[in-house]
Amino acid sequence: MADDHDNNWRPPDRDMAGMDAVLTEQRNPRSTGLDTMSVMEIVDLINSEDRTVADAVGRERERIAEAIVLVVERFRRGGRLIYVGAGTSGRLGVLDASECPPTFGTDPEMVQGLIAGGYDALIRAQEGAEDEADAGPSDLAEREPTAADVVMGIATSGVTPYVHEALAAAREIGAGTIFLSCSPVDPGEVAADVIITPLVGPEVVTGSTRMKAGTATKLVLNTITTASMVLLGKTYENLMVDLMATCDKLRDRSCRILVETLGVGYEEAADLMSEAGGSVKVALVMGKAGVGREEAERRLEESDGFVRRALGEA
C-alpha cells in the first residue's frame, strides 16, 4: 500500500559507499530478534545496552578533559562555546546551551547551539538539512565567530557534511575546535583540535543514534559545560550559587542553599537573599563574612566571582 514515503524517495546525492562500515550504522547482533521479543525482553535489552554508555564515555576522559581546558581558556578570553549539529546531535547541543543560563547565571550568548534546519528542526525532524554542507559555514557566520570562540561539532555518525564544513570554517578563523563522534574518526580528516569518540557500538534499532549515541552525547556535553562552569567559579562546594532564581523552585533552592551553608532559618535566608539583591553568591559572602552587600560584592569582584576566594578559604 502506497504512502507518503513514495513522494519523498530519491537516490542519494553523494557517494555513500562504505556507510555500512560506520559503527553507528552497523547491526547489533543482540537485537536481531527485536521484533519477536516480549515487552520485558525489549526493556531489558535496551537497559543492558544503555549500561555500556557510561563506560564508553569514561574511556574518553582524557580527550574530554582536553576539551574542558580549551573551553575554559577561551571563556576567560571572552569567547563563547558554539555547538553545531544536525538531528538529535543538534537538539542536544541546543538543549545543553539553553540550560546554562538558569543553572550557572551565564549570558545566553556564552554557550550557543546551532542545528541544521534552524528552529523548525528542533520540533520536527528535517533530516535532509544535514546534507547541506554550505549551510554549516553560513549558519555559523551569522553568529560572527572569532578566534576567541570554541566551535564544537557533534556528528555521532562522524560523516555529517553540515557539521564538518562548519568546523572547517571555524578552524580557518582560528577558533578552537572540538569534534564529537560515536564512530572511529581519522584525525587527519577532521578539522578539530580535540576529537572525542565514545564508541557505544551499534544501536538496538540499527542506525537510531537518538539511543546510545544520543545518551553518550548528552553525558559528554553535560561534563564539558558543568566542569567548565565549576572552573570559572560558578559553584561553591557542589551548590549552584550563580543560578538565576526566575521561578519559585529556584527561589526556594536559593533559600535552601543559605539554610544549608549558613545554618540560618528559612525566613532569615529569604531576608538575606532580598538584602543581597537576589544573588546567592552575595548572600553567602554577606552571611559567612558578616559584611554588608557592598563589601560582599567588592570581595567577589576581586576574587573573579569565586566564593571560596572571597571568603579567604582558598
The DSSP element (H or E) to which 156 belongs, if any, is none
- Which three three-digit cell numbers place residue 227? 566542569
Cα separation, 293 vs 286, whole angstroms: 6
Nearest to 63 by CA among 239, 193, 158, 162: 193
The DSSP element (H or E) to which 145 belongs, if any, is none
Q: Is 99 noted as a catalytic residue in this protein? A: yes
Cα separation, 80 vs 176, whole angstroms: 10
Contacts of 203 (CB under 8 A, 6+ apart): 24, 28, 49, 209, 211, 212, 213
Q: Of how many residues is the chain composed?
A: 314
C-alpha distances (whole Å) from 268 to each of 243, 258, 275, 279 are: 19, 9, 11, 15
Indicate which residue of 49, 130, 203, 297 is catalytic: 130
Cα separation, 161 vs 178, whole angstroms: 15
Q: Is 267 noted as a catalytic residue in this protein? A: no
In this structure, are residues 221 and 196 in contact, taking their beta carbons and an 8 Å threshold?
no
Contacts of 256 (CB under 8 A, 6+ apart): 266, 269
Indicate which residue of 66, 73, 99, 295 is catalytic: 99
Listed in order, strand segments (DSSP E) in the chain are 81-85, 111-115, 150-154, 176-180, 194-196
Query: Is the Cα torsion angle 2, 120, 141, 184 positive or negative in sign?
Result: negative
Query: Is the Cα torsion angle 238, 101, 217, 225 positive or negative in sign?
Result: negative
Active site residues: 99, 130
